[in-house]
């Protein structure tokens, strides 16, 4: 992928906001800037996509999924989370999934919510720690059982552990476009939270439309407010949900606002995609299809990615909300 794949050293912050190289990582640098015609996608399917589904998914299927994504060209994979197995039993085998992924092929990322989880992820060989902070105090209590202020304090501790291990920290800023419990969240509230996250030394803030409430104008307004507040010292990304059918439109609004980093989930897994009106993350293959049509480089082989989605759909025995699985890429029927 132009603008990032050639870099051999990833980076961590030195406390002054300046990145310093570290060596115990992949040959892919998630912290490197992107060209305007390139887009970097992190597939969160192995973690966010599978964590809340009802049926058991075998370790073999998870490993096949993660490695299939890498083979399709994904260079960032959120492979699991290191949280209480009682709280999220589907992620209890995250260590094994990470261990079965090739170390040099892609950045293997994992969600952590406290220092204990950070240490466990580092011991498992993770390349990037993913923290989470909510713009909504109510959702913070529901999601990580901490107030927003306490979660920020814990994030600082996680960042210190990461710096000692010479690992970068990406942070999901959840409920950035609305909260299921509080309703709309003010733009200034989101910008305040982003400013606090930036002060921890995180290299990236991913603005999450957790409940799929955003419209394109919301994307533009929040991205502009956060960018004005945090400046250019931190990368911004989007984590979109297709709950109300606006995820691809919102992705286009994100592009217009200068965003080149996106989360997505293969097959559209995530949230509760099996219940009417409660769809999950924006579908990775649908997003790649959009970016391909717009002439943007993703470094991802769309046909191979669709095959991964098809295998997951077969494994789960459930129809997934992927347009590419139903219709295929545009004009692909002419090649048959």
Active site residue 272: yes
| Bridge partner residues of 42 (DSSP) | 76, 263
* CA 284 from centroid of its chain's CA atoms: 11
278 phi and psi angles, rounded to 5 deg:
-135, 55
What CA–CA distance (Å, rounded) separates 285 from 45? 12
Catalytic option among 4, 179, 272, 283: 272
DSSP lists the bridge partners of residue 66 as none
- Contact criterion met (CB below 8 Å) for 136 and 182: yes
The catalytic site residues sit at 272
């Amino acid at each position: 992928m132009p603008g990032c794949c050639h870099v051999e050293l990833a980076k961590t912050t030195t406390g002054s906001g300046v990145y310093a190289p570290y060596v115990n990582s992949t040959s892919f640098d998630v912290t490197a800037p992107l060209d305007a015609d390139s887009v970097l996608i992190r597939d969160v399917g192995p973690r966010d996509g599978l964590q809340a589904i009802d049926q058991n998914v075998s370790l073999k299927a998870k490993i096949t999924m993660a490695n299939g994504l890498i083979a399709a060209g994904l260079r960032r994979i959120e492979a699991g989370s290191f949280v209480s197995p009682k709280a999220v039993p589907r992620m209890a085998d995250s260590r094994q999934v990470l261990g079965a992924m090739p170390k040099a092929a892609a950045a293997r990322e994992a969600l952590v919510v406290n220092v204990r989880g950070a240490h466990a992820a580092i011991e498992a060989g993770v390349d990037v720690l993913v923290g989470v902070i909510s713009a909504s105090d109510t959702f913070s209590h529901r999601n990580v059982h901490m107030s927003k202020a306490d979660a920020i304090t814990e994030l600082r501790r996680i960042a210190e552990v990461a710096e000692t291990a010479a690992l970068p920290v990406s942070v999901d800023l959840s409920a950035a476009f609305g909260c299921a419990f509080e309703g709309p969240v003010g733009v200034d509230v989101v910008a305040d939270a982003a400013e606090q996250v930036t002060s921890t030394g995180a290299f990236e803030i991913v603005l999450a439309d957790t409940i799929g409430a955003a419209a394109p104008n919301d994307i533009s307004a929040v991205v502009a407010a956060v960018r004005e507040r945090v400046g250019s010292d931190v990368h911004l990304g989007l984590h979109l949900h297709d709950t109300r059918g606006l995820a691809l439109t919102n992705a286009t609004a994100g592009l217009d606002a200068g965003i080149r980093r996106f989360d997505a989930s293969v097959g559209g897994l995530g949230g509760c995609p099996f219940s009417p009106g409660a769809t999950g993350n924006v579908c990775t293959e649908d997003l790649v299809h959009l970016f391909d049509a717009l002439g943007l480089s993703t470094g991802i082989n769309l046909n191979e990615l669709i095959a991964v989605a098809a295998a997951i759909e077969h494994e789960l025995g459930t129809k997934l909300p992927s347009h590419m699985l139903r219709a295929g890429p545009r004009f692909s029927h002419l090649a048959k």
